[in-house]
Amino acid sequence: MQLTKFSDYALRILMHLAAGDRQRSAREIAQAQGLSFNHLAKISQWLAAEGYVEATRGRGGGMRLARAADDISVGALLRKSEAGSPLVECLGENGGCCALKPACGLLPYLAEAQEAFFATLDKRSLADVMSRKSGLAKLVEDVTTAPAT
Amino acid sequence: MQLTKFSDYALRILMHLAAGDRQRSAREIAQAQGLSFNHLAKISQWLAAEGYVEATRGRGGGMRLARAADDISVGALLRKSEAGSPLVECLGENGGCCALKPACGLLPYLAEAQEAFFATLDKRSLADVMSRKSGLAKLVEDVTTAPAT
């Protein structure tokens, strides 16, 4: 069972931004975390469009959280970012082509389990994530300011 | 959030076998469901090794369920078939390479949500799946005996 890299990296961006109080560019985050800039740039645009981050263009520009961290639900974010990634192909938009689908008794149970997954995370905020373990803010500063190797 | 095709097809094979009381070969199921024979053959071997099906070789051979359908838990099966497919890369065996991992407060929440997913399905058996909707047994017979097009 896999989340998309899109969701994984979206959460990493938000954690990176929540760890400090200054703006950070997608390039800076990509470099610090060793991820593809192009990929992060695309995800950052999506995060801005969904109202999670505010972006300032130009020199010295970057992103910051557009809401308080305790107002960002992990479950709510994943429900959106995973919307195009159905648990099994027949739950997708095109419905897949499983021969058993017309009488399938499995799909309702899978949908129920997926809902339990999201519901567990609905009640977890970015603030919870940041406070669950200590040292994340310092780690982010360390990886961000470390000289490129 | 996606299950592997391996898990998806493993469940389809079990549903196919549970729908009738005779042996069926991987080739027959592949043909009826329009899936790759090579893929289903590999999954069938895994299902046999895990004690879900019994296979008879040779002419007229095939598979049948090795346990009663109410003794096959969907959750227990998925816990095994999804073991090599971590929710995010840093939960995998090699641990991924996320720069934030040493202080990440997200992983425990993701693990908790994944557990909620599996726990929901632990209590659902193949017998529940077969009885949740009517018509699956007939549908399986129809697709199995339909002339190839």
Report the CATH number at residue A140: 1.10.10.10
Subunit contact A2:B33, Cβ cutoff 8 A: no
Helix (H, G, I), strand (E, B) or coil at A123: coil
pLDDT tens-digit map of B90-127: 887 776 678 888 888 999 999 999 999 999 999 999 99
Subunit contact A109:B128, Cβ cutoff 8 A: yes
Confidence class of residue A58 from pLDDT cuts 50, 70 and 90? confident
Count CB-CB contacts under 10 A for residue A14.
23
- Residue B51: inside a domain: yes
pLDDT of residue B95: 66
Instruction: Give the residues across from A81 on adjacent strands.
Output: none
pLDDT of residue A112: 96
- Residue A106: inside a domain: no
Q: How far apart are CA B41 and CA B56, in angstroms?
A: 13
Q: What residues contact residue A48 under an 8 Å CB cut-off, 6+ apart?
A: A54, A55, A63, A66
Interface confidence (ipTM) of the complex: 0.91
The pTM assigned to this predicted structure is 0.91
The range of the structural domain enclosing residue B11 comes to 5-85+125-145
Contact residues, chain B, for A109 at CB < 8 Å: 74, 120-121, 124, 128-129, 132
- Residue A51: inside a domain: yes
Q: State how many domains chain B has.
A: 1
Q: What percent of chain A has pLDDT over 90?
A: 66
Find residues 106-125 of chain B whose CB sits inside 8 Å of chain A: 106, 108-110, 112-114, 116-121, 124
pLDDT tens-digit map of B129-145: 998 877 887 888 888 77
Query: b/e for B91-117, b at 16 or more Cβ within 10 A?
Result: beeeeeebbbeebbbbbebbeebbebb
Tell me which of A10-24, A51-65, A132-146 is least confident. A132-146
Search chain A and give the residue with CA nearest B13.
A100
